[in-house]
Structure 1
């Protein structure tokens, strides 16, 4: 999305955030994308959970299994991600970066 329009997507910076976590730099990970460390921790928890289920050959029901199924928490999480995204877009628009990225993108070049 960013390559074509110059506008970053909601998950822009997630890969850089994961790379910063892998290098042990939590502050850089949070700077790249606020939800990067949270998603990374979720992946680790899921990997451990699945590994334990495979080793014990039985289904394990943990408290987070019920949490992820609750519609209110799903909506709250989606709201948090899009609020963060809109704040990032607002910040980019205030610094002029979004305009610069847009006019230099393929879509911006096509329009201008």
Structure 2
């Protein structure tokens, strides 16, 4: 007879994946900025454009995928809805679409 009839549902108050998602998106954004700022202002036909550093390109791809995974985990784990959860999610999706679009554009052209 001493049973608990109404169990209290414990809410998930952790925000670990949301914060990591925002951090990954900001790192990816910073790497994109560095990549675009490393392009020279004037380009001559004789010199051409040098290839971007591969470590930066690979880092952008890795951090973008990590950001998408962390965003997915933050929604699957049902973390509370905060501004950094949504900011990280929106930034990660936009950066992922930018990378996917540039890869598709490079293959077509």
> Which has the bigger relative contact order, CA under 8 A and spacing at least 6?
2
TM over 0.5: no
What TM-score do you get using the length of structure 2 for normalisation?
0.35
